[in-house]
Chain A
Amino acid sequence: MTMTECDRAQAGMDIQHPFLRDGLPNHIRAHVAECDACRLHVDVAAACMADLRSRAAGAADAPQARRMLDAALTAKRRTRAAILALLCFDLLGAAACLVFIGWSWALALFAVTVPPQAAALWYVSVHHRRLIERAAQGGELFAVLRADLGARIARVQWCAPVLIVGGVAMALLAASELPYQAASRNALAAGQILFDAGFIGLGVYLLTRLPAMRRESDDLKTSGDA
């Protein structure tokens, strides 16, 4: 491959002094003076250099090292504390979920291990009147009972993974922001708060649902006794 005069000149610009017209050797300068294409190369490079140097000139003053390091460390500590609190909260939520699910599973286990009739009687006595009605209509009581339990478990089973995965994702997100939170990161922080609110809602739902279920069972037990 033969190099053209322009190739040679442009390679020379790279090797010699890439951006300064005055730094170019005479033979390249002579070519550039006559060649529009190479002149454009030199001019664009010079404009690029001017632009980049003006950026350096436009930089804010160097930060005060002591203040910057203090701020960075404080921000880091705060972020770490926030992440830890978030994680504890998520784990608490996950634990509540697991207790709830465990309770449902215990019921299911009880239902399948003790003699069917006794389990069915006990379960129906503490749960829905609807089941008794359906059983009275000729349905297979034990099957209805199992279906009901299955539905219950399916309804809450997804909570725990969501809480755990969500918690880890949030922690990672927050960690990726380390160590600074500039103004433009506020949207992300708002998103995290919303996500957090979702966890709060779920936690409250679980906490409020449990007493309601217990009350429901008590009511049914009372009405069953009556």
Chain B
Amino acid sequence: MIAPKAEREILAGVRSPLAADRTRAFERLVASVHRPLFAVCESITQHRADAEDALQEAYVAAHRGLAGFRGDSRLGTWMYRIAIRAALRQRARRRRRADHALASEPIDPRTLAGPENVDAERVRRALGRLSAEHRTVLALFCVEDHSHEEIAEVLGVPVGTAWSRLHHARKRLVAEFEQQRDC
């Protein structure tokens, strides 16, 4: 999430009468949320190019909506919400086309620094078999150190729901992982 001070500066920037200030503030906003948003979008879409498309769509939507941003939620939360919606739309589009030929590119296993006794590639496959809802909640918990409250706000659900969704997602992940092992 964006630090409160940076958030105040960005919001001041986007409300500036000078176009250059507005662009600079927007650029700063994008730079500060890009990597975690990309990870969440990629884990929802399971496709790198789709995640990039979704993010671009989200940024354009955010740029359009920033002027009307009233600060009812944190700026980061708002960006997450827009990006998740865009990623879900992108995923639905991909499904409509039933274009599964373009699977997610395999990641270099050396970049995974998980526990040595667990096969990282198998975890990745198990993750890919979860529902978008479960992948979303796991990604939100994993990518940045969000609290349950922040994640509930991003998802627009009560804290208890966010917690139980995480609980089920984790159980499902382990079940899928074990199934992968049996295969």
A-side interface residues toward B, CB under 8 Å?
Answer: 10-11, 13-15, 18-19, 40-41, 43-66, 68-69, 72, 176, 179-180, 182-184, 188
**Quick check: A59 and B38 within 8 Å, CB to CB?**
yes
Interface residues of B in 73-119 (CB under 8 A from A): 93, 97, 99, 102, 107, 111-115, 117-118
Q: Which residues from chain B contact A40 at a C-beta distance below 8 Å?
A: 118, 174, 177-178
B42 at the interface (CB under 8 A from A): yes
A-B contact pairs, 23 of them (CB 8 A): A10-B167, A44-B174, A46-B115, A47-B123, A48-B142, A49-B114, A49-B142, A50-B113, A51-B124, A52-B138, A53-B143, A54-B112, A54-B113, A55-B39, A55-B43, A56-B38, A56-B143, A63-B30, A65-B23, A66-B23, A69-B60, A182-B49, A182-B53
Q: Determine whether the beta carbon of A57 is less than 8 Å from that of B173.
A: no
Task: Tell me, rounded to whole Å, the shortest Cβ–Cβ distance linking A18 to chain B.
Answer: 6
- The residue of chain B having its C-beta at the shortest distance from the C-beta of A176 within the complex is B93
Residue interface bits B11-53, CB-to-A below 8 A is 1, else 0: 0000000000001001100110011101100110000010011
CB <8 Å contact, A48 and B127:
yes
Per CB-CB distance, the 10 closest pairs between chain A and chain B, nearest first, are A47-B114, A56-B39, A62-B34, A59-B38, A50-B114, A47-B123, A52-B142, A65-B27, A55-B39, A49-B142
Chain B interface residue count, CB cutoff 8 Å, equals: 51
Q: Using Cβ atoms and an 8 Å threshold, which residues of chain B touch A64? A: 27
Interface SS majority for chain B = helix
Q: How far is the CB of A42 from chain B (nearest CB, A)?
A: 8
| Chain A binding surface, main DSSP class | helix
Indicate if the CB atoms of A179 and B57 lie closer than 8 Å.
Answer: yes
Evaluate contact between B56 and A47: CB separation under 8 angstroms. no
Do B57 and A56 have beta carbons less than 8 Å apart? no
Q: Are A45 and B170 in contact (CB under 8 A)?
A: yes
Shortest Cβ gap from A184 to chain B (Å): 6
Q: How far is the CA of A19 from the CA of B93 in the complex (A)?
A: 32
Residues of B near A69 (CB, < 8 A) are 59-60, 63
The chain B residue sitting closest to A37, CB to CB, is: B174
In the complex, A63 Cα to B35 Cα: how many Å? 11
Interface status of B139 (Cβ within 8 A of chain A) = yes
